[in-house]
Structure 1
Amino acid sequence: MNTDKAWIALLDEDEDDFLFWQHGFRSWAGAVELKWFKSAESFLSETATGPKPIAVVLDGVVPSGEEEAWLSTFLANDCCQNTPIYMLTGQFNEDDQQIYLALGATGYLIKPTSGEELQRIVVKVSGSQSTASVGLE
């Protein structure tokens, strides 16, 4: 694993989701590495001593009903200071979207179910620091 490469954290318990996202990053954001974390604790542990991600996609590792508390925890933690955090969800919920964005999330994303949706989201998330890094400029 190249530790000098810009990276994005995907926090999700589902390996199939990771493999799908990994395909997307390899296809449309080759300048950015996708790192997978099965728990919030493992992510916080790794970022306590190592390089910080350029963005975080938060899904599946947060117990249902505790999303707001975990988002606030991430936003206050050194690992995520000035780092875009995207909340990923299976279904759109306007109330959740408003809450997450008001708390400081960068975006509210619906899980991609097709290659086209995945491409759009990968370009958006990986372009949070610099669109030049994914060939958009």
Structure 2
Amino acid sequence: MSAQEKILIADDDMLLVSLLEHKLRQKGYDVVSVYDGQSTLDQVATFIPDLLILDGMMPHLDGFQVLRELKADDRWATIPVFMLTARRMENDVVEGLSLGAADYLVKPFSPDELVARIARALNSGDAKGNGRAAAV
């Protein structure tokens, strides 16, 4: 892992967020969390994450709306977004991936599998040219 990679967690389930924060910080990631869609967009602009974990169903803006807005903005379009949601229907998965999600995991999920997928994405170069570079 390079100099402390930054992960933004956007989910309205505070217990789940706490678990993910703990797991990711144990692996050395810099983690910030938000609990609704609008706060996600606001935080992306200030924190500029290397990767975003995004719930599909949140207050104010759902994760799919957030994903649409991020991918439409050149400053943030290259940030890898992992959808983590209870929306498990095939059309939901296809929609998330079609909108540009780098990965789509359905709740309940394995936190260790998520951490492994994140490490793979960040180490494989999928996050190269992320929002941090685009914002400069």
Task: Report the TM-score range of the alignment, normalised by the length of the smaller protein.
Answer: 0.7 to 0.9
Task: Trace 1:64-79 onto structure 2 (pairs within 5 A).
Answer: 67-78=63-74
- Pair member with larger Rg: 1
The CA RMSD over aligned residues, in Å, is 2.6
Larger RCO of the pair (alpha carbons < 8 Å, separation 6+): 1
**Given the two structures, how large is their TM-score scaled by the length of structure 2?**
0.73
Count how many residue pairs are aligned between Structure 1 and Structure 2. Answer: 122
Kindly state the Cα deviation for residue 99 of structure 1 after the two structures are TM-superposed: 1.4
- CA–CA distance in structure 2, aligned partners of residues 83 and 111 of structure 1: 22
Write the letter of the residue equivalent to 2:25. R
| 2:127 counterpart residue number | none
- Find 1:118's aligned residue among 102, 111, 116: 111
Kindly state the Cα deviation for residue 41 of structure 1 after the two structures are TM-superposed: 2.3
Change (3 A) 1:124 1:52: same
After superposition, what is the alpha-carbon deviation per residue over 1:86-123, rounded to whole angstroms, capped at 9, x for unaligned? 1111252211111111121111112345xxx1111112
Matched, 1:89 2:85: yes
Identity score, percent: 25
| 1:135 counterpart residue number | none
Kindly state the Cα deviation for residue 124 of structure 1 after the two structures are TM-superposed: 0.8
| 1:53 counterpart residue number | 49
Change (3 A) 1:68 1:43: closer
| 1:43 counterpart residue number | 40
User: Which consecutive unaligned segments of at least 5 residues does structure 2 have?
Assistant: 125-136
| Runs of 4+ with deviation above 2 angstroms | 39-48, 60-64, 66-70, 77-81
